[in-house]
Amino acid sequence: MPDDVTILDDAAMIERLQRGAFAYFTSYANPENGLIADTSRVDSPCSIAVVGFALSCYVVAVRRGWLSREDAALRTLKAVDFFWRSANSDRADATGYKGFYYHFLDMHSGRRVWQCELSLIDTALLLAGMLCAACFFDADSEPEAQIRRLVHDLYRRADWRWAQNDSGTLAQGWKPEGGFLHYGWEGYNEATILYVLGGGSPTHALPPSSFAAWTITYQWENLLGRNILYSGPLFTHLFSHAWLDFRGIRDEFMREAASDYFENTRSAIAIQREYAARNPRGFAGYGADLWGVTAGDGPGPDEMQSSGRDRRCFGYMSRGVPYGPDDGTIAPWVMAATLPFDADSALRGTRSLLARYPQVLRDDQFTSGFNPSLTEQATGWLSEGCYGLDQGLLVMMIENQRTGLIWQLMRGCAPIRRGLRRSGFAGGWLDDVA
């Protein structure tokens, strides 16, 4: 295979990038319990959200012929079985509580690390991956039947009503040391799938008022000449969308705005491109075909010298445009992850990035963050290693572009349909008989 992927035609290049990204999930997995590392760095713990992405990516891998169906089913079963058997109690070293799970787990013991929070959004991404697997593994074989049973039980176990903590919206997390974490819900973000899954629960369903209590804080905005339900970091326009096909379905907010969440992501892409073209902070590389500001690794909190100018940089943080923060760090993988929304922009951007800065791709995997404005190293600043979230989102979104596999599976997922309807979504495929 050639080193330079940009000499390949679009289809071949995309296949290469998708497969490269998928390799993360076979390289950084614990085969004993199905857990996947958060990052490729030594001693990285497991992130439960990355497991959710992995479970969805196994499905893609079967379809692509990268994994046998049996292998994928066994990997999936390991993970769902682990979560079903894991310690689910209010003990500080459990794996989860009330059917939700801690954000980061020890790769081997599967227990909570870093005194991290019981995370609602990360549990939602985990459950979305599980439900996706349960929809895909529909054969009568014992492993596949067992996957479906366990996922069913795991989903039923999550106590969404408890997680409301007697308020309208959901709490963002919980800790055994201090109880619920509540940062408030103000404005749109990646959590649509959280409320949809909560609403679809057969056992502890959120009331419709819960989603409404969040969406009341939305703003319909005209920004850089585009109408958008704004959220800065690009990933927030992609995470729920990796599973949910938002084309043609609308909640109350989008009916009023005469848009939908698919179209909204297209607007977010357009704003990212327009911002990069205007490049108000004068960052190196930025242009209409080189963009992608989102959450991710960064150069760090120290002032660093860039092309003779002092710049203040951030470490891992949620970056966004045009409101900021923006320190010149882009996520090299994110342009390709927008393929199903705007293929032309995604391809042009990815190609121009790889042609100009081939160092962002190592072993066909994108690094998490890249800052070409920082010139202390000839390559610019490059994040060390890869992040599972980035790789998983890329695999799924490329597949959604190529075959629509994940979207199609989830359109047939009863909890998703129930949750969407309960959250006020209607129209399009949601009105078709499943």
Partner 1 sequence: MSLERVKTGAAAGDQDNYLRRVHPAGWHNPTPRAQYDLVIVGAGPAGLAAAEAAVRLGLSIALVERACIGGNSLNLGSVPLKVLVRSGNLLAGMRDAVRYGVAHTGTAQADLGAVMLRMRRIRSRIAEVQSVERLRACGIDVFFGEARFAGKNRLQCGTQQLKFRKALVATGARPKATTIPGFERIGYLTSATIFDGDALPGRLAIVGGGPLGCELAQTLARLGSQVTIVQNEPKFLPLEERDAAEILSRSLARDGVVTRLNTTVVGVRECGGRRWLDTVSNGAKNSIAADAIFLGIGRTPNVEELGLEAALVDYAAHEGIKVDEHLRTTNPHIYAAGDVCLRHKFTNVAQASARLAVANAFAAKRRRQPHWLIPRCTHCDPQIAHIGMHVRQARQRAIAVHSFTIMMQDVDGAIIDGTDVGFVKIHVRAGSDEILGATVVATRASDMINELSVIMHGNIGMRRLADILHSYPAQSDAIRLAAVAWRALHGSAVPPAPVRRAAKAAAAART
Binding site for partner 1 (CB under 8 A): 115, 117, 175-179, 181-184, 186-187, 216-225, 227, 230, 256, 278, 280-281, 312, 322-325
> Tokens standing for 71?
């292998």
Q: Which residue's structure tokens are 């997995």?
A: 29
In this complex, which beta carbon is closest to partner 1, that of residue 134 or of residue 171? 171
Shortest Cβ distance from residue 392 to partner 1 (Å)? Answer: 27
Q: Which residue's structure tokens are 């010139």?
A: 375
In this complex, which beta carbon is closest to partner 1, that of residue 179 or of residue 412? 179
Shortest Cβ distance from residue 127 to partner 1 (Å)? Answer: 23
User: Rounded to an integer, what distance in angstroms lies between the CA atom of residue 243 and that of residue 233?
Assistant: 18
* 132 contacts 76 by C-beta, under 8 angstroms: no
* 36 contacts 25 by C-beta, under 8 angstroms: yes
* 99 contacts 373 by C-beta, under 8 angstroms: no
Where is 309: in which H helix or E strand?
A: strand 309-312
Shortest Cβ distance from residue 259 to partner 1 (Å)? Answer: 12
In this complex, which beta carbon is closest to partner 1, that of residue 85 or of residue 312? 312
In this complex, which beta carbon is closest to partner 1, that of residue 19 or of residue 175? 175
Shortest Cβ distance from residue 385 to partner 1 (Å)? Answer: 27
Shortest Cβ distance from residue 319 to partner 1 (Å)? Answer: 11
Shortest Cβ distance from residue 293 to partner 1 (Å)? Answer: 14
Residue-by-residue DSSP string for 351-387: HHHHHH-GGGEETTEE-S-EETT--SSTT-EE-SS-B
Shortest Cβ distance from residue 284 to partner 1 (Å)? Answer: 17
Residues 6+ positions from 335 with CB-CB distance below 8 Å: 291, 292, 345, 346, 349, 350, 353
Shortest Cβ distance from residue 321 to partner 1 (Å)? Answer: 9
In this complex, which beta carbon is closest to partner 1, that of residue 18 or of residue 259? 259
User: Rounded to an integer, what distance in angstroms lies between the CA atom of residue 358 and that of residue 105?
Assistant: 34
Shortest Cβ distance from residue 427 to partner 1 (Å)? Answer: 19
* 134 contacts 152 by C-beta, under 8 angstroms: yes
In this complex, which beta carbon is closest to partner 1, that of residue 283 or of residue 407? 283
27 CB-side CA count, 13 A: 20
In 3D, which of 292, 254, 257 has the Cα closest to residue 275? 292
Residues 336, 389, 413, 172: what is their CA dihedral angle, to the nearest 10 degrees?
A: -130
In this complex, which beta carbon is closest to partner 1, that of residue 245 or of residue 263? 263
Shortest Cβ distance from residue 253 to partner 1 (Å)? Answer: 9
In this complex, which beta carbon is closest to partner 1, that of residue 74 or of residue 257? 257
User: Rounded to an integer, what distance in angstroms lies between the CA atom of residue 45 and that of residue 107?
Assistant: 5
Shortest Cβ distance from residue 182 to partner 1 (Å)? Answer: 8
User: Rounded to an integer, what distance in angstroms lies between the CA atom of residue 83 and that of residue 33?
Assistant: 9
In this complex, which beta carbon is closest to partner 1, that of residue 145 or of residue 323? 323
In 3D, which of 50, 36, 163 has the Cα closest to residue 110? 36
In this complex, which beta carbon is closest to partner 1, that of residue 18 or of residue 264? 264
In this complex, which beta carbon is closest to partner 1, that of residue 319 or of residue 422? 319
Alpha helices in 279-342 (DSSP H): 334-337
User: Rounded to an integer, what distance in angstroms lies between the CA atom of residue 345 and that of residue 365?
Assistant: 20
User: Rounded to an integer, what distance in angstroms lies between the CA atom of residue 132 and that of residue 161?
Assistant: 23
